[in-house]
Chains A and B, each alone.
Chain A
Amino acid sequence: MKKGVMRPGHVQIRVLDMKEALKHYVDLLGLIETDRDESGRVYLKAWSEVDKFSVVLREADEPGCDFMAFKVVDEDALKQLEKDLVEFGSTITHREAGDLKDCGRRIQFTSASGHCFELYTDKKYTGKWGLNAVNPEAWPRGLKGMKAVRFDHCLFYGDALAETYDLFVNVLGFYLAEQVIDPDGNRVAQFLSLSTKAHDIAFIMHEEKGKFHHASFFLETWEDILRAADLISMENVPIDIGPTRHGLTHGKTIYFFDPSGNRTEVFAGGDYNYPDHKPTTWKAEDLGKAIFYHDRVLNERFLTVVT
């Protein structure tokens, strides 16, 4: 976070039917509803998160992702980042404080890959859900479904990965944690991080700009991933793949779909990085193993099914 961009803050996801979506994100995934606004958006958080919300659902005719936001360390850093983005050539849209409930002003810009991102520094601190701030217990009672621990990252599909890398690394201060390189030396996948986490955001090369592959939520253990798989079967939820392990990041994972066709991931474990670590490289020739470590073959859905 050398430029002051601290961590993923929230993602706004479009859904076709809010009631059905809440069954998925609240009853199955285990997020907690924290608010609603006049336009009908519903605000959710995972229990271990300290701010008021990390997922915003908006009912629309087309599913997908409206934007993903990153929290910046303070107002001075936000002002500097705005200057840097303008210098980089980004067009900035200002969203006033309160446009998202209990969230301060946000600045929006679009990456060359065709995705909208936001930076903000202020959001209501509500503390971890269901726990006391002093002498907190291990976890709160009353969690539902998969009991998602936190919103972790998003994977986006689009083109212009080199320009998008430039924006995220040189302007926003992310570093390259992991990459996939094709035989011609082009980077066709980039996993970028702000922290010791394996990724805070990822991009995979795709001819169509602005597509949403998945939003991912952290669980603690492999056993939790198996339990998530059981719940997916109990509810007859469309499954993409898993439980399995990724080669990239080495996380243990399962992919499934919300009732509007947006992909959700829950994962556990995975690699860590410190600033002296070099990026991990996978060859595109071995992409099957890089994505699905056990099957070693891509399913077509991984590359083609996006919203």
Chain B
Amino acid sequence: MRQFNITNKTSKQSFVCREEDYILHAMLRTGIACIPVGCGGGGCGVCRINIISGKADFGRMSKVHVTDEQLNNGYALACRVKPKSDLVIECAPNSKSSQQRADLTKQLNEVSQ
């Protein structure tokens, strides 16, 4: 069974993923946290990445978060990406709204602690 190195270019963190595994699920098993984790099913868009180099296969993912054109340009949801070579990736959140939501969560947790 082949396995590949997945590297986050921004955080410089790497983990190993078997070729039949989705890279987000492999990352979770290693305990490394270099891609945000959402629904794990291609639905919510939280784990959106840009694949800078390498080859991959893709499971079905919501076209709201990754259009066909974006998929052709290297964007994908990490929970739907199976590596076919070593990959270099970077996180690519889709919209300002995801950052606003993260800020909201932070605020809410600050007031509740």
Contact = CB atoms under 8 A, between A and B. Distances in A.
B10 interface: no
A164 B1 CA distance: 54
Given A61-B62, A304-B46, A297 B41 contact: no
Contacts of A116: none
A306 B30 CA distance: 25
Secondary structure class of chain B's binding surface, majority of residues = loop
Contact of B101 (A289, A297, A303): A303
B41 A238 contact: yes
A286 B64 CA distance: 33
Contacts of B97: 207-208
Interface in A250-307: 257-263, 284-289, 296-298, 300-301, 303-307
A62 interface: yes
Nearest to B77: A261
Nearest to A237: B40
A17 interface: yes
B113 interface: yes
Nearest to A302: B105
A304 B108 contact: no
B38 interface: yes
Interface in B79-113: 79, 97-98, 100-102, 104-105, 108-109, 111-113
Contact of B62 (A257, A303, A307): A307
B13 to A, nearest CB: 19
Q: Looking at chain B, what size class is its interface with the partner chain?
A: 20 to 34
A287 B38 contact: no
A69 B113 CA distance: 38
Contacts of A238: 39-41, 79
A261 B42 contact: yes
A300 B26 CA distance: 21
A263 B40 CA distance: 10
Contact of B43 (A206, A261, A285, A303): A261
Contacts of B60: 16-17, 260
A279 to B, nearest CB: 21
Nearest to B110: A285
Contacts of A306: 44
A61 B63 contact: yes
B61 interface: yes
A63 interface: yes
Given A62-B63, A63-B43, A288 B112 contact: yes
B40 A257 contact: yes
Contact of B38 (A17, A207, A285, A301): A301
Contacts of B64: 61-62
B43 A300 contact: no
Contacts of A208: 97
Contact of B61 (A16, A286, A288): A16
Contacts of A304: 38, 44, 46, 98, 101-102, 105
Given A259-B41, A261-B38, 5 more contacts: A207-B97, A261-B43, A288-B113, A297-B109, A301-B38
24 contacts: A16-B41, A16-B42, A16-B61, A61-B62, A64-B43, A206-B101, A207-B101, A238-B41, A258-B41, A260-B41, A261-B40, A261-B42, A261-B44, A262-B39, A262-B41, A262-B43, A285-B111, A287-B108, A297-B109, A303-B105, A304-B46, A304-B105, A305-B44, A307-B39
Interface of B: 37-44, 46, 60-64, 79, 97-98, 100-102, 104-105, 108-109, 111-113
